[in-house]
Amino acid sequence: MDMIDKFMHAVLSITFFVFFLHYRLFTSLVATARSLFKENVSGKVVLITGASSGIGEHVAYEYARRGACLAVVARREHRLRQVAAVCEIIGSPEAVYIVGDVAKMEDCQQFVEATVSYFGHCKQPIRRLDFGGFNFLLVFDVVVTVDHLVTNAGVTPVCMFKDYDDITKASPAMEINFWGSVYSTYYAYGHLKKSKGKIIVIASSTGWLFAPRLSFYSASKAAVISFYETLRYEFGGDIGITIVTPGLIKTEMTDGKFLSKEARLQLDPEMRDG
């Protein structure tokens, strides 16, 4: 009888896991499709963090193909310059790159303000002719704000918990992955509320599907998911929120780039091929 109970428990656990996995993947895909494919983003202002490579870079290209105005943010200027140039080639009316570190609150404030300032306050003149024998020039102020915020910047500490000599070396996981998203959202909130905009959060399936050596990365992504699920209730209909939890995608991480236990970014081909 005990064997039957254990067997049934194992079957139910596996069934629930498979269902949950497919359900989260389905809901993520639906949310992404709604935010990127159904909405007309032509001419809208989209701010993307972590846009120098990987998911952030390719999300920028998708927005560009749909005619969005882009502000791409990351720490690597040479890569950002290339991404912005490609965006304009493939369809963005204008793409600006802004160097910034999402782990620094002041940088987040600066790149949000720089985005609004750059796309700025436009004045569109409209001339009416022959009205009572006079010509009139009417000027309307069109306030440009942030329509979409894509919080994507992230770093991946890869290390067994017991192997850390200094546990504080894992802190960039929370500083970049979690607080970087929070800071960006905090400073963009007012602009997004005005535009009835959206926040697209690039989290990870590791936020609910766990693996060895990714404890701090998983914890940071779980925090991101919980935070924005809460904001979904707080914001109500003022700002839309889409939380994306990708699985394994070819990025610099899958190429072996990770944060070592000494808090240094390293490229390890063996990790990629292992």
Tell which residue, 77, 109, 72, has the closest CA to residue 88: 72
Q: How far is CA 135 from CA 96, 123, 173, in A?
A: 38, 19, 61
Residue 111 sits at the vertex; the CA angle it makes with 110 and 117, to the nearest 5 degrees, is 90
CA distances 165 to 96, 110, 174, 249, Å, are 41, 35, 18, 30
Burial class from Cβ neighbours inside 10 Å (0-12, 13-18, 19+) for residue 177 reads: buried
Under 8 Å between Cβ of 263 and 165: no
Token digits of residue 19: 């269902």
Which residues, other chains included, contact 107 with Cβ-Cβ below 8 Å and sequence gap of 6+?
100, 101
Active-site residue identified among 164, 217, 228, 233: 217
186 is catalytic: no
Catalytic residues: 217
